[in-house]
Amino acid sequence: MFVDIAKIKIKAGDGGAGAVSFHREKYVAAGGPDGGDGGRGGNVVFKADTHLSTLVDFKYRKRYFAQNGQPGSAKKCSGKMGEDLVINVPKGTLIKDAESGRIIADISTDEPVIVAKGGRGGWGNSHFATPTRQIPRFAKPGLPGEEFEVILELKLLADVGLVGFPNVGKSTFISMCSAAKPVIANYHFTTLTPVLGVVKVDAGQSFVMADIPGLIEGASEGVGLGHEFLRHVDRCRLTLHVVDVSGIEGRDPKEDFEIINRELERFNPEIAHRPQIVIANKCDLATEEQIADFKAFIEEKGQQFFAVSAATRQGVDEVIYAVWQALEKLPPVKIYEAEPAPVMEITPENTRKFDITVQDGVYIVDAPWLAQVLGSVNMDDYESLQYFQRVLRSSGIIDKLLEMGIKEGDTVSILDFEFDFVN
C-alpha cells in the first residue's frame, strides 16, 4: 500500500525530578544537602531510511513518545537520561506542524533531525544551599518534553518527473530507461503509485526519474488520481511531458498537452514554469504528418521535442542524453528550509496569565503555569512556602484575590491544591 501523507502525535520525554537528600555518614555531622539532578528527557529524532518508500507504517500507529528522564538520587547522583526515540521515514519526507502548517524539517539527507526536544532535568536540593539556607528541603521538578501533532508528507526525491495522460506510455518509457518494473497494460490507470527509476547515462553519471500516474483534466482539483500524486512533481528539476502523438484513443495530442500544463499551473505555477522536454510517444503508430504537425506546435512554444517509440526503444537514448545535458545546467533537487517557530513576545501578561472564579465560597485560581511551581514546593518546609507566597504575590494573584473581596480563612484552590488564605 502506497501512503504518502500521515498525521501523528509526538512527545519528547519529560525531565526527571531533582532529589531532596541529605548526606548521612558516620562521624560526619550535618553533612548538608546532596540531592542530585534529574536526567534529561529523550528527544524525538527523525531519520531517513533508504529502504522505506511509503508512510504506510504511520497509518496504523499514531502516537510516538520518547523515554522520560530518571529522577536524581542521593550523593549528588544525576538521574539517567531518557533514550532518544528515532523514527525512520522515507527520504524526501516533509515534517509539518499540524496546527500551523509550518515546515519543521525536510528529511532529505542522511543527517538525523531532532524535531521534539526532551525536557531538562530538575535541580536537586544541593543547588539551593546558601549560607542562610543550609537545609533546603525542596528541589525542582523536570521540565516537560515538547509535544505536538505533525503531518508527514512524502515528496519523492527525483530529478525528472514523467507527466502526461494515462496510457500514453510513461510506464513503458521508464522501464526502457531504467531498471524500474512498473505494471504495464493497455488500459487507463494501470499505474496506481509513483514509480522511481535510476537512469544511467555513463560510468558514474545517473539521475532519478519518477513516473507520476493518474493526471487527467481536473487533477489539481481532485479529479482522478492526479491530485494524490502531484506533490511528487514538486521537487523535480525537469519535467518530461509524454504525449500520445498517434491519437489512437481519439484524443488530440495538442489538447492533451495544453490540459496537462494547465493542471500543473493550477497546482503550482512554479512547477509549470520549470524546464520541460516534450516526448511524442507511439510515433510508430502515427503518420509523418501527425508527427510533423505536433513538432511544429511544440517548437513554436520554444520547447525541445523528441519523437519516440518507447515500446521499440526508438529515440529513447536521445532523450536520455538531452535530459542529462539539461540537468547539468539546472540547480540541485529542491530542499525545503525549516521555518522558524513564531516568536511570542515575553511579557508578564502572557507568561503568568491567570483567571479566578468563585464557586461555593472557594476561590479557584486557573493558572496552568503554576503546575511547575507547585511541583517544586515542599509544603512542610517554611522557606519553600515563602517562595510559593512570593510567586503568588509577584504574579498579581494575591492582589486580585484581595480585589475580589477574599478574607482571611477563605479557601483558595490552585490545581486541586487547597489552602486557607492568610494575608
Partners of 355 in the β-ladder: 366
pLDDT, tens digit (0-9, with 9 covering 90-100), for 10-60: 999 999 999 988 888 777 667 788 999 999 999 999 999 988 888 988 988
Residues sharing a CB contact under 8 Å with residue 171, sequence separation 6 or more, in sequence order: 182, 183, 184, 190, 191, 195, 211
Instruction: Answer whether residue 226 shows pLDDT above 60.
Output: no
Residue 233 CA: distances (Å) to CA of 11, 249, 264, 355: 32, 26, 9, 50
Q: Residues 350-359: what's their mean pLDDT?
A: 79
Instruction: Answer whether residue 322 shows pLDDT above 90.
Output: yes
Q: Residues 302-320: what's their mean pLDDT?
A: 92
For residue 346, what pLDDT is reported? 40
Count Cα neighbours of 330 within 13 Å in the Cβ-side half-sphere: 20
DSSP assignment of 357-383 equals: EEETTEEEEE-TTHHHHHHH--TT-HH
Bigger pLDDT: 346 vs 140:
140
For residue 185, what pLDDT is reported? 47
C-alpha cell at 103: 515546515
For residue 219, what pLDDT is reported? 47
CA distance 384 to 139: 9
CA distance 174 to 151: 31
pLDDT-above-70 percentage for the chain = 88
Average pLDDT, the chain: 85
Least confident of 52-56, 167-171, 213-217, 392-396: 213-217
Instruction: Give Cα 47 to chain centroid, integer Å.
Output: 11
Verdict on whether the full-model pTM lies above 0.85:
no
Q: Find, among 80, 103, 100, the residue nearest to 155 by Cα.
A: 103
Q: Residues 307-320: what's their mean pLDDT?
A: 92
For residue 216, what pLDDT is reported? 59
CA distance 155 to 265: 18
For residue 192, what pLDDT is reported? 58
Instruction: Answer whether residue 383 shows pLDDT above 90.
Output: no
**CA Rg value for the chain:** 32
| Strand ranges of the sheet holding 195-202, from the earlier edge strand across to the other edge | 195-202, 205-211, 160-163, 238-244, 276-281, 304-307
DSSP assignment of 309-342 equals: BTTTTBTHHHHHHHHHHHHHTSPPPP-PPPPPPP
Domains of the chain: residue spans and CATH: 1-154 (2.70.210.12), 160-328 (3.40.50.300), 348-420 (3.30.300.350)
Return the ∠ at Cα 326 (arms to 323 and 328), rounded to 5°.
Answer: 110
One-letter identity of residue 141: P
Instruction: Answer whether residue 230 shows pLDDT above 80.
Output: no
CA distance 24 to 21: 9
Instruction: Answer whether residue 218 shows pLDDT above 60.
Output: no
Residue with cell 507547585: 374
Query: Would you call 280 helix, strand, or coil by DSSP?
Result: strand
Bigger pLDDT: 185 vs 240:
240
CA distance 132 to 414: 30
For residue 344, what pLDDT is reported? 45
Residues sharing a CB contact under 8 Å with residue 272, sequence separation 6 or more, in sequence order: 261, 264, 265
pLDDT, tens digit (0-9, with 9 covering 90-100), for 183-196: 554 544 455 567 88
One-letter identity of residue 361: G
C-alpha cell at 102: 509550518
Bigger pLDDT: 176 vs 26:
176
Contact 40, 81 (CB under 8 A): yes
Q: Find, among 260, 232, 238, the residue nearest to 168 by Cα.
A: 260
One-letter identity of residue 229: F
Q: Residues 317-321: what's their mean pLDDT?
A: 93
For residue 254, what pLDDT is reported? 93
pLDDT, tens digit (0-9, with 9 covering 90-100), for 78-134: 999 999 999 999 999 999 999 999 999 999 999 999 999 999 898 898 887 877 777
Burial of 243 (0-12, 13-18, 19+ CB in 10 A): buried
For residue 221, what pLDDT is reported? 54
Least confident of 97-111, 237-251, 307-321, 347-361: 347-361
